[in-house]
A and B are shown apart, each in its own frame.
Chain A
Amino acid sequence: VLVLLRSPLPRLRALLQCCWGRLERGFLPGGLGGQNPPWGPALAVQAPAVLPQAADDASESSAEAPSLLESILWMAVPKKRRTIEVNRCRRRHPSKLIKVKRNIDVCPECGNLKQKHVLCGYCYAKVKAETRLIRMEMRKKEGGPFKAPTVETVVLYDGEKPSEKDEGKRIIERPRKRPSWFVQK
């Protein structure tokens, strides 16, 4: 014996009955193309299981089935096709066009373009690359997770020696010239 979609919701059953009726009449619900012939024997086999229930439910849900159909008629639906002229008026309205940005300046450091309220992308990338190398050196020194020292860190470049203020601090060496933007205090 076959097992059908046995949902307790009578609404779903009413919907299934509508689809069922449409199928029997030959209209397919949705784009289920190419399955017409195989459905024939399936219909014949499934019918006795469904029809007795359908007979019971028809009396129960007769009031609900028309409401489902009627609610479809009350839905908001376009009455006429929107012409290309109307579509163009909407799509090309000034509010939909991209506005010209007036907050673009030249970065005084590197000469690339930057937005006024945002850091320069090129300079930020430079700093990011250098910080990444410094962090790699720190990782090598620490040798594992959760081993960060409790003291401050000082980054020293080629030819620089730790001053008296950097007594108890952790020193990270970078084998290159000090970049101009990294000011030493």
Chain B
Amino acid sequence: RWLPSFNLFPLSCIHTSTSLQKTGKWEKKNRIVYPPQLPGEPRRPAVIYHCRRDIKYSKDKMWYLAKLIKGMSIDQALAQLEFSDKKGAKVIKEVLLEAQDLAVRKHNVEFKSNLHIAESLTGRGRYMKHIRYHAKGMFAFMKISRCHYFVKLVEGPPPPPEPPRTGFDQAKEYVQQLRNRTLVHTL
């Protein structure tokens, strides 16, 4: 039987937006619909994509917060952000709370604490140029930077952190690579 892997919304939706506005790909990820699961399959965990566009903050500075949060459970992430002194921490906390709310209301998540952050990314927003005045009639152009913040919440406890790569592991891999070599163009 014909069973598509996922059903996309009809193509006419793409052409309705103007050419200057960028269509948000992250927002579209929430719309994919999977076919019903077979009785024997393990339960597919709920996935929620959420983002906020054009935050007045630098993408490099926001990246540090996104890196802090990666892989944590949502409660731990909210705790860390509440006591962080950064400007972006407040914004990310709002985004996480919004996403948690969405998850509970629309994406059939049972426990709001049972979410963890699978991915958290920052992107460059639209920059604006502005004149900055210096002494002696000199001037320069400064850029007013904005950023986007993307987060993907997945249902379930956070995965255990990977053990750091030791020298022994690296040596083992090296020896395995040497052993995998074959002799070419010989008997």
Which residues in A have some Cβ–Cβ distance to B below 8 Å? 30-32, 91-92, 96-98, 100-101, 104, 113, 115
Q: Indicate if the CB atoms of B83 and A31 lie closer than 8 Å.
A: no
Pair A104/B139 contact, Cβ less than 8 Å? no
B83 CB, min distance to chain A CBs, angstroms: 6
Least CB separation from B78: chain A residue: A113
Given the known interface contacts A98-B68, A100-B68, the answer about A30 and B138 at a Cβ–Cβ threshold of 8 Å is: yes
A31→B139 contact, CB < 8 A: yes
Assess whether B60 is interfacial by the CB under 8 Å rule.
yes
B140 in the interface (beta carbon within 8 A): yes
User: Any chain A CB within 8 A of the CB of B79?
Assistant: yes
B48 at the interface (CB under 8 A from A): no
Answer yes or no: B137 CB below 8 A from chain A CBs.
Answer: yes
Min CB distance A145 to B, Å, is 37
Are the CB atoms of B79 and A98 closer together than 8 Å?
Answer: no
Residue in chain A with minimal CB distance to B139: A31
Q: Show 15 residue pairs from A and B whose CB-CB distance is below 8 angstroms, ordered by the A residue.
A: A31-B138, A31-B139, A91-B60, A92-B67, A97-B64, A98-B65, A98-B67, A98-B84, A98-B86, A100-B68, A104-B82, A104-B83, A113-B78, A113-B79, A113-B83
Interface majority SS (helix, strand, loop, mixed), chain A: loop
**Distance (Å) between the CB of B8 and the closest chain A CB?**
35
Count residues of B near A (Cβ-Cβ below 8 Å). 16
Instruction: Please give me the residue from chain B that is nearest to A99 by CB atom.
Output: B68
CB within 8 Å of A: which B76-95 residues = 78-80, 82-84, 86
Whether B140 and A31, one on each chain, are in contact in the complex, defined by CB atoms closer than 8 angstroms, is: yes
- Given A98-B65, A98-B86, 8 other A-B residues pairs in contact with their CB atoms under 8 A: A31-B138, A31-B140, A91-B60, A96-B64, A98-B67, A104-B80, A113-B82, A113-B83
Q: Is the CB of A97 within 8 A of B79?
A: no
Whether A104 contacts B84 by the Cβ 8 Å rule is no
Residues of B within 8 A of A100 (CB): 68, 80
Asked if B68 and A97 sit within 8 Å, CB to CB, the answer is yes
Distance A113 CA – B67 CA, assembled complex (angstroms): 22
The minimal Cβ–Cβ distance linking B138 to chain A, given in whole angstroms, is 5
